[in-house]
A and B are shown apart, each in its own frame.
Chain A
Amino acid sequence: MLSLLWLIPVLPLAGFLLLALCGGRLSRQQIAWVGCGSIGAAAVTTALVAIDFFSLFPAREFYQQTSWNWIDTSGMTVGISWYLDALSLLMVAVITGIGFLIHLYSAEYMAHDDGYARFFAYMNLFVSAMLTLVLADNLLLLYLGWEGVGLCSYLLIGFWYREPEYGTAAQKAFIVTRIGDTALAIGLFILFTQFKTLSIQQVQSLATEAWPVGSNVAMIVAMLFLIGAVGKSAQLPLQVWLPDAMAGPTPVSALIHAATMVTAGVYLIARMHHLFELAPMVQEGIAVLGLVTLLLAATSALVQQDIKRVLAYSTMSQIGYMFLALGVGAWPAALFHFLTHSCFKALLFLAAGSVIHSLHHEQNIFKMGGLRRHLPWTFWTFLIGAAAMSGVPLITSGFYSKDWILWSVWSSPLSHRWIWFGALLGAMLTGLYSFRLIFRVFFGEVRTQPTGESGLAMRLPLVVLAFLALTVGFLEMPHTLGNVTLFSQYLSHALPTTTLLPGMDESSEVREQLAVTIAALLGIGLAALLFLPGSLFGARETDQSTTHPSMTLLQAGWGFDRLYDRLFVQPWLAATRNSSDMVDRGYEWLAVCAESCHGWLSHTQTGQVRWYAASIAVGTLMLLGLFAM
C-alpha cells in the first residue's frame, strides 16, 4: 500500500482540476461531493499508507518514491519524488484529516455563496500544494508546494474579490510572504551551488560533513531558511499579513491560516534541523524571535474587537511557542504543539465561523453576547477549544503540549531563564484573551439575535475536533503525570531528541508544571474578573474604551503596519512619483527616436505600384553591385 503514496497529493489535485474545468456544469451537491470527496479519499489513502508504514516502522524509517522526472539536465536532476518518514506522515495526517473536516464544514458554511465551485477548487488546490510541500523529497519540489500554498492563500483571502479591502489584504499577504520566499529561494541557490543537489537528505548529510558548526555559510543559509519560515509562519518581522488575512471565508482561516499553511515554517525548520544545528546562533535567534512574537501577538489579541482577529493573533502567538521550542532544540515538542494547535485552533475558527454564520456575518465581539443558550453546540466546542488553547491542566491537549515546550525551555542547555519567564507570561495572557472571547461572546445579554444552531455538516466537524482537542494530548504525557511517550518515541526516528541540562529531576519538573498550571488558571481567573458580565470589573471595556493611545497601539498589532508604511511604502511611492527619472529619460529618448524613424519611413509607403517597382529595381541593382564588388 505504500506505493499509493503518490496518490495523496494527486487526489486533491484531480479534485481541483475537475472543479476548475467543469465546476460550472455541476450542481451544488455534486461540487460538495467532489470537493470533500477528493480530500476524504486522500485521508483514506493516508490511513492505508500509514498502516503499511507502521507495519515495518522502527526497522524502516522512511519510504521514498519517484513518480516522475521533473528536470533532467546535465548536472541537475530533480524528480517529482516523495519522501515519507515519521515527520511527514504526521503532517500529512493532520492536513488530510483536519482538511477533510474543514471541507465538510465548508460544504454547509459556503452553501449560499456564488463561488461555490471556485471555493472548493481553490481549497483542493491548496491541500494538494500543502501535501506536496510536506511530502517533497527535494527542496525544489518543496518550494513548488511552498509557492502553491502561497498562491492559494492569496486566492482564498481575496475570495470575495468584490470588496476592494479584501483584495488589498490578499495582495498584502502575497507580497509580505514573497519576501520570505525570495530569501528561501536564495538559500536553495546557495545549497545547490555548494552541493550540486537539492535532495533534502543528501544536502543535509553533505552539509554536516562539509561545514563545521557555526561556519559562515551554514549561518547564512540557515538565516535565509529562517526568513522564509518566518514569512510563511507570520512571525516577527513578517507577521503583518496574518491579521488582515482574516478577510477570507472562515473555513479558509481555519485550514490555511491556523492549522496547516502557517505551520509550514515550523515544518521547514524541523525538516532542515541538521542545517540549523550547524548554526547555533540562528537557532538561538529562532527562540528569541518566537518569544517576542508570542508576547506581541498575545498582547494584541487582548484588545481586538473582531472575533477572527483575536484568533489570528492567537495563532501567531501559538506559532511563536512552536518557534520557541524549535529554537531551544525541543523538536518533538514543537511538532506536538503543532498537532494539538491544529486541532484546537481549527476548532476555534470553525466555532467562530458558526457564531458568525448565525449572526449574519457579524464579527465584532462587542455586538455579541449571551449566545451560550442559543448556540449550545458551538458554545461547548468553543469552550473546549479555548480551554485547550489556554492549557487548562490535565484534561486538555494544549496543556500537555505547552507544558512540554515550557519544560524544554526550562531545562534546555540552549535556553535562558528569562525566555522561560516570558513564555510563562505568554501562557497567562493566552488564558486571559481566550476567555475574554468566551465571556464576551457567550455570556451576558444578547446583543444580536442569532438565527439558531447550524446544521449537521457544521456540527460534526466541531464535535470531532473538540474530541481531538481534548484527547490528542494523551499521546505524550510528562513522566510526572502518566509518563506516556508515544509521540516522542514516534518522532525520535525523524528528529533528534531533546537534550536536558544536568540536574533536572522530577521535583523541578513538578515545580515547573505547577507554575504553568497556575499561569493558565491565573489568566482564566483574571479574564473572569475583568470580562465576565456582572463581575468585579465586568463590562467596563466597551467599543469606546479603545481611544486610549496604548490601546490603539495594541489594537494595531504594535503599529508594525504604520512602521512599514513609513519605512518602505511611502519612500517607494515618493520615488515613483518623481517624474524626472534618469532611467525614464533614456527610454523616452528611445521612443522619440523610434517615432521619428517611423514618420520618415512611412513616406516611402506611397501606395503607388510604380514607386514600388522602381524601389525593387534600384534595390536589385544595388545588390548586384554588391555582388560584383
Chain B
Amino acid sequence: MLSTPALVLAIILFGLGLIGLLSRRNILYMLLSLEIMLNAAALAFIAGGARWGQVDGEIMFLFILTLAAAEVSVALGIVLQLSHRFRTLDADAFCEMRG
C-alpha cells in the first residue's frame, strides 16, 4: 500500500516534532517543532485522501496550511512581546502562572 509508508513518515515527523517541542527551551524552536507536527498531521490527511480517493484530505491540508500561517503570525507576535518583556526566549522563564 502506498499510504502506509506515508503514514509511517507522518508518525515519525509528529514524534520528532513532539520531542522537539518538549525538549527545546527556546520558544522559537518550539514554534518550529509545532510546525513540523502540524505538517505531519497534514501529511496524514493527504495520505488518507489518496488511500480513499477523496478530495477531503487535500481540503483538510489546505485548511491546516491556512491555520498554520495564522498561528505562526499570532505566535510570532506573542514571541516578540515576550522577548520585549522578559529579555529572553527561554520558555521556562515564562512561568508566572505557577499555581
Residue of A nearest to B23 (CB): A610
- The reply to whether A607 and B21 form a contact with Cβ atoms under 8 Å apart is no
Task: Give per-residue flags for A305-324: 1 if the beta carbon is below 8 A from chain B beta carbons, else 0.
Answer: 00000000000000000000
B interface residue count range (under 10 / 10 to 19 / 20 to 34 / 35 or more): 10 to 19
Which of B22, B25, B97 contacts A617 (CB under 8 A)?
A: B22
A563 at the binding interface (Cβ < 8 Å):
no
B8 sits at the interface (CB 8 A)? no
Q: Tell me whether A610 and B18 are in contact (CB under 8 A).
A: no
Question: Is there an interface contact between B99 and A603, defined as CB atoms closer than 8 Å?
Answer: yes
Residues of A578-606 whose CB lies within 8 A of B: 602-606
The answer to whether A609 has its CB under 8 Å from any CB of chain B is yes
| Complex-state Cα separation, A134 to B18, whole angstroms | 77
Tell which of B18, B25, B91, B99 has the most Cβ of chain A within 10 Å.
B99
Is B21 a contact of A605 with CB atoms below 8 Å? no
Contact between A605 and B22, CB atoms less than 8 A apart: no
- The 8 Å CB contact of B21, one of A604, A606, A613, is A613
Alpha-carbon distance between A607 and B97 when the two chains are bound, in angstroms: 5
Query: Which residues, 1 to 39 on B, are CB-close (under 8 Å) to A?
Result: 18, 21-22, 25, 30
Residues of B within 8 A of A507 (CB): none
Q: Could you tell me if B98 and A609 are in contact, using CB atoms closer than 8 angstroms? A: no
Chain B residues with Cβ below 8 Å from A69 are none
A602 touches B99 (CB 8 A): yes
**Taking A602-B99, A603-B99 as contacts, is the C-beta distance between A608 and B91 under 8 angstroms?**
yes
Given contacts A610-B91, A610-B92, contact A605 B97 (CB under 8 A): yes
| Distance in angstroms between the alpha carbons of A607 and B94 in the assembled complex | 7
A residues less than 8 Å from B98 (CB atoms): 605-607
Least distance between A346 CB and chain B CB atoms (Å):
67
Q: Which residues of A contact B22 (CB under 8 A)?
A: 610, 613-614, 617
> Interface residues of A toward B: which range?
10 to 19
Q: Which of B43-99 contact A (CB under 8 A)?
A: 91-92, 94-99
Known contacts A610-B21, A613-B21, A613-B22; is-contact A605 B99 (Cβ 8 Å): yes
When chains A and B are docked, how far (Å) is the Cα of A609 from the Cα of B82?
Answer: 13
Chain B residues whose CB sits within 8 angstroms of the CB of A604 once the complex forms:
99
B95 touches A607 (CB 8 A): yes
Residues of B within 8 A of A605 (CB): 97-99
Contacts of B92 in A (CB 8 A): 608, 610
Q: How far is the CB of B27 from chain A (nearest CB, A)?
A: 8
Residues of B within 8 A of A617 (CB): 18, 22
Proximity bits, A483-526, B CB within 8 Å = 1, else 0 = 00000000000000000000000000000000000000000000
Shortest Cβ gap from A628 to chain B (Å): 15
Q: Which residues of B contact A609 (CB under 8 A)?
A: 30, 91, 94
B95 CB to closest chain A CB, in angstroms?
Answer: 3
Q: Tell me how far the C-beta of B82 lies from the nearest C-beta in chain A, rounded to whole angstroms.
A: 11
Q: Are A607 and B91 in contact (CB under 8 A)?
A: no
Is A607 in contact with B30, judged by CB distance below 8 angstroms? no
Interface residues of A in 602-627 (CB under 8 A from B): 602-610, 613-614, 617
Contact B96–A607 (Cβ < 8 Å): yes
Tell me, rounded to whole Å, the shortest Cβ–Cβ distance linking B61 to chain A: 21
Bound Cα distance A264, B96 (Å) = 66
- CB neighbours of B99 from chain A (8 A): 602-607
CA distance A43 to B91 in the complex (A): 78
**How many Å from the CB of B88 to the closest CB on chain A?**
14
Residues of B within 8 A of A614 (CB): 22
B93 closest partner in A (C-beta):
A608
B25 proximity list for chain A (CB < 8 A): 610
Nearest B residue to A617, CB-CB: B18
Q: Which residue from chain B places its CB closest to the CB of A606 in the assembled complex? A: B98
Q: In the docked arrangement, what's the CA distance between A614 and B22, Å?
A: 6
- Nearest CB to that of B21 among chain A residues? A613
Closest to B92 in A: A608
Residues on B with C-beta less than 8 A from A602 are 99
A-B contact sample (12 more), CB < 8 A, given A607-B96, A610-B91:
A604-B99, A605-B97, A605-B98, A606-B98, A606-B99, A607-B99, A608-B91, A609-B91, A610-B22, A610-B92, A613-B22, A617-B22
Give the interface of A toward B (CB within 8 A): 602-610, 613-614, 617
6 A-B contacts (beta carbon < 8 Å): A605-B99, A606-B95, A607-B98, A607-B99, A609-B30, A610-B91
Identify the 9 closest CB pairs spanning chains A and B, nearest first: A605-B99, A607-B95, A607-B98, A602-B99, A607-B97, A608-B95, A609-B91, A614-B22, A608-B92
